[in-house]
Amino acid sequence: MKRIDIPHIVLNKDGLYSGDLKHYFRALFIHATNLWNPYHNFRHMTHVLWWTYDACHYYYPSLSPEKIRSMLVAAFLHDADHSGHLGNDRKEIERALRFFDQYHDPIDRELSPDIHRLMGTTLFPHQKSADLPLDEQILRDADMVQGLDDAWIQQVVFGLSKEEGVSPLVVLERQEPFLRGLTFYTDWAREHFGPTVIEKRINEARELLAFLRNGNE
């Protein structure tokens, strides 16, 4: 699927799910406290939203409009009110769930248990399971691809280093082992982010490390 903008998803221009997401865009834009975080920020939440939407296109129409709506709301809000510090992701999920409970669209009352479940499945590090339902597989995969995005240096290297309290060099050095161990649950993610894509990012990280380590040459 070609790149589309946020209004396209929020306004449901493809008619892929029930209703629209204007309520949640307003809630995040006006009330969320994590919009300026180094990594768990507005860009990350919309990044996960975009890739979840892409996956829903891939699997359409095997996913119902209601299921797609639950997935998109969960993707959009999964890190709402994140503290901007790493170390206890369970508490961060609880923050996001409270945000949803406070600002949920009334039309989602019946979908709330499903949205809660989906937001919870992004808890990191993931508890591995071979039999996750497809919607949870998609959410997890969409949440893991930030490091393969064009803005990975800003988002991952500088963003995560700030939130973890370590130097950017430490995070850069972790990229190859992290990407080597990266596995996806869905056919959608494996097709989009196959070995060639991952190897390209690994090589880029290696080259950057070489520049930094040989800075005196």
Q: Give the pLDDT confidence of 159-186 residue by residue, as tens digits.
A: 999 999 999 999 999 999 999 999 999 9
Q: What is the pLDDT of residue 127?
A: 75
Checking if the pLDDT of 91 tops 70, the result is yes
Q: What is the pLDDT of residue 65?
A: 97
| Mean pLDDT calculated for residue range 62-89 | 97
Q: Give the pLDDT confidence of 23-40 residue by residue, as tens digits.
A: 999 999 999 999 999 999
Q: Give the pLDDT confidence of 111-133 residue by residue, as tens digits.
A: 999 999 999 999 988 777 668 99
Q: What is the pLDDT of residue 90?
A: 95
Q: Give the pLDDT confidence of 188-197 residue by residue, as tens digits.
A: 999 999 999 9
Q: Which domains does the chain have, with CATH numbers?
A: 6-213 (1.10.1300.10)
Q: What is the pLDDT of residue 118?
A: 97
Q: What is the pLDDT of residue 62?
A: 95
Taking every pair of C-alpha atoms in the chain, what is the biggest distance, in angstroms? 63
Q: How far apart are CA 168 and CA 157, in angstroms?
A: 5
- Provide the whole-model pTM: 0.95
Whether the bond between 125 and the residue before it is cis, its omega within 30 degrees of 0, is yes
Checking if the pLDDT of 139 tops 60, the result is yes
Q: What is the pLDDT of residue 1?
A: 62
The three state secondary structure string of the chain is CCCCCHHHHHCCCCCCCCCCCHHHHHHHHHHCCCCCCCCCCHHHHHHHHHHHHHHHHHHCCCCCHHHHHHHHHHHHHCCCCCCCCCCCHHHHHHHHHHHHHHHCCHHHCCCHHHHHHHHHCCCCCCCCCCCCCHHHHHHHHHHCCHHHCCCHHHHHHHHHHHHHCCCHHHHHHHHHHHHHCCCCCCHHHHHHCCHHHHHHHHHHHHHHHHHHHCCCC
Q: What is the pLDDT of residue 57?
A: 95
Checking if the pLDDT of 85 tops 80, the result is yes
